[in-house]
Structure 1
Amino acid sequence: MADINSADPEDLVTCPYNKAHLIRRKKFQLHLIKCRSHHPDSKLLKCPFNLCHMIPEQEYSMHIGSCPDRAIITNYKNIEEDNKRKATEVSTQPKNDSEEEDWDNSEEDTKESTKTFLESKGYDPNKKINSNDIILPLNGYLPAQRRKIREDQLKNFESKRSRRD
């Protein structure tokens, strides 16, 4: 029997819940989910580094210290911490005044344009649809809902035609 971490997906692995179960490595995670539901009273705990490792409660703390997949996670965390440290070092460096962008606007101009944009109502698609004779596709609605919407659209179109005449 090969261990769980070997490269060949066709290797057979023994189920931790039932030693009579021999499973191909590529199907092992799915089997663990199914077998776990059949053994709810089992005293096996999941390894935080590899969910295919199911460890008895007594051996759990020893496994956490010696898990072969622990190195992968700790290495990843170290790389992540190095990247964070480098990012803070870069952001704390002083900026050169010559590199600042002017964009030919003063702060007052940008504040005024922001106010007018926020105060504007913007585009309202429902208003546009209601103001024109547009029939929308009604995919996803139930037949009764489609019928009701079509009736409302026809009433709306007829009232607009009567106003034009």
Structure 2
Amino acid sequence: MDELHIKNYGDVIICPYDKTHVIPAGRIQRHLIKCEKQHQHLNYAICIFNTTHRVPQEELQNHQRNCPDRGLIEIEKYTLEDSQPASYSHLEAAMERMLWERSSMGVRQDSEQQDENWDDMDAPPYDPEEHCKNKAVIRKAVNMTRSERRKFRAEESIRLRPLYALENDDKPE
């Protein structure tokens, strides 16, 4: 498959079924499924290392010997002496280093931090109205009649006066 990079657009791939189709790399799999149905007369085989690779049936063995994605599969297939996959050996060493650094810094492990229980329903629910009454938050009069809005605004100005005074007293000058 021919891959191209178009400036200000990104990576694109030319469809093996129809060379006039230039598809963004992220959408090639979806395109190939649709295009394959329209071009059933072409005898293309699917590569076992990457399903977006479609090659003529006659060239399949040659492609599989030289497929650029073959290494990604074979690195998982063949292991080192300690029977760990070759690609994970450096990750395991990094993980051990990180755990050692966490324990030496005195950071609690995750099992010790599991004191939060979201299934515990004994805690009181959060009430936004109650929270706003005790903070300097401007509330809106919603779904009220004209007289109720007037009364609400008067009560709000009385409620906010001491809260704003407390807020201004706390600020250093």
TM-score > 0.5, shorter chain as reference: no
TM-score by length of 1: 0.44
TM-score (norm: length of structure 2):
0.42
